[in-house]
Structure 1
Amino acid sequence: MQKKFLGLSAVLAVMTLTACETVQGAGRDIQTAGQVVQTESRQVQAGM
């Protein structure tokens, strides 16, 4: 699980650095990252 989270974090960091041209774009990237973290945490809590 920890390796999966670390890999996901690395991918999100790269996406943020490459796609973030404006403050609005950064906000969307951060929101998307938050949604991914929420989805992952729900799956962990459900035992998936």
Structure 2
Amino acid sequence: MAQRMVRTGLLALMLPVLLALGGCNTVEGLGQDIKKGGEAVEDAASSVKKKL
């Protein structure tokens, strides 16, 4: 019983890792989207700062 729980737990941990590794292009695109989002936040902060 304990071995089955360990195997199930390992599978639950490994599945997302394998999916992430399999979608490297997707992860790269996600990184670019996050970067663009950060730039948008910086622009908004600069705009507010100018108004003050």
Higher RCO (CA-CA < 8 Å; seq separation 6+): 1
Structure with greater proportional helix content: 2
> TM-score with structure 1 length normalisation?
0.54
| TM-score, length-scaled by structure 2 | 0.50
Q: Which runs of 5+ in 2 are unaligned?
A: 1-24
Q: Among all aligned residue pairs of Structure 1 and Structure 2, give the percentage whose two residues are the same amino acid.
A: 32
* Backbone CA RMSD of aligned residues: 1.8
**Which runs of 4 or more aligned residues in structure 1 lie more than 4 Å from their structure 2 counterparts after TM superposition?**
none
Q: How many residues align?
A: 28
Instruction: Name the larger-Rg structure.
Output: 2
